[in-house]
Amino acid sequence: MKRKLVLSMAVLAVLLFTGCAGGNDADSHMEGTQQMESSASETLGVDSDDTESAQNELETDGADRAVLLYQGQASLRIVTAEGKVIYVDPYAGDDYELSADLILVTHPHYDHNMVDKVQNRNQGCEIITQDEAIQNGEYQIFDLGYVTVEAVEAGYNSLHDVSDCVGYILTFSDGKSVYVTGDTSTTEQMPLLAEKNIDYAFFCCDGIYNMGLDEAAECAELVGAKHNIPYHVTAKEGVVFDRELAEQFEAPDRLIVEAGEEIVIE
């Protein structure tokens, strides 16, 4: 951008000089301007293609990384660097217009399993629920090329049986990872997840049907992700996010993401 500014100033100087010289031939004036612009580029060591390339880099900054939209409650939409669209626990929000390549469901409760909200689906769109994620008591790993999805334990409370609930760790093609707990209390597996060096972890913490804020913060310490994000912070009907409650999540490296907010997974 600095090089482009200097180049523009050089061209402006030429225009002023030409105007002062009283040039009346518009074609000659334009030809002279083009020649001087080319000369200025050479003097500055700037190729016109380089200038355009630098601008494109600014316009496409972040396109090589996944972008995550938090829709509220436990609903996420992720667009990968490859342009693949992933929906997790569809329920909250209205941003479901992008055609899905993958839909993940952690368990069958209605506020995690409104798959019909995702009406637009690309050919070959996959849907992975707890039924596919747990096979013969074993947690499955799905390598889809643009993302690897690893099912992990969830549940451990009266309303969420461990045999019927999962969390997911999504690892993208650049190695960055996102962990969603789904609805759960502390699991036996969480201390082992620290070995995975997770980048972003979403912890449910409504304290009514799941673990509360304090327990969720303890789980965040066990998992040791680089960024710990409170979600599913309320069980109130129609309320998909409560900022005041989220700020009571006292985990290390806390990151509060508002419903409707996007973050770059970096």
List, as one string, the DSSP characters of 34-95: HHHHHHHHHHHT--HHHHHHHHHHHHTTTTTS-EEEEEETTEEEEE-TT--EEEES--SSS-
Distance CA 141, CA 7 (A): 53
pLDDT value, residue 8: 42
Residues of the chain scoring pLDDT < 70: 1-63
Six-digit token string for 196: 């995975």
3-state class of 121 per DSSP?
strand
C-alpha 113: how far from its chain's center? 20
Rounded to a whole number of angstroms, the CA Rg of the chain reads 26
Domains located in the chain, CATH noted? 2-59 (no CATH), 67-264 (3.60.15.10)
- Residue of 253, 252, 255 lying closest to 231 (CA atoms): 255
pLDDT value, residue 34: 44
pLDDT value, residue 63: 61
Cβ-defined contacts of 17-20 (< 8 Å, 24+)? none
pLDDT value, residue 23: 41
pLDDT value, residue 14: 36
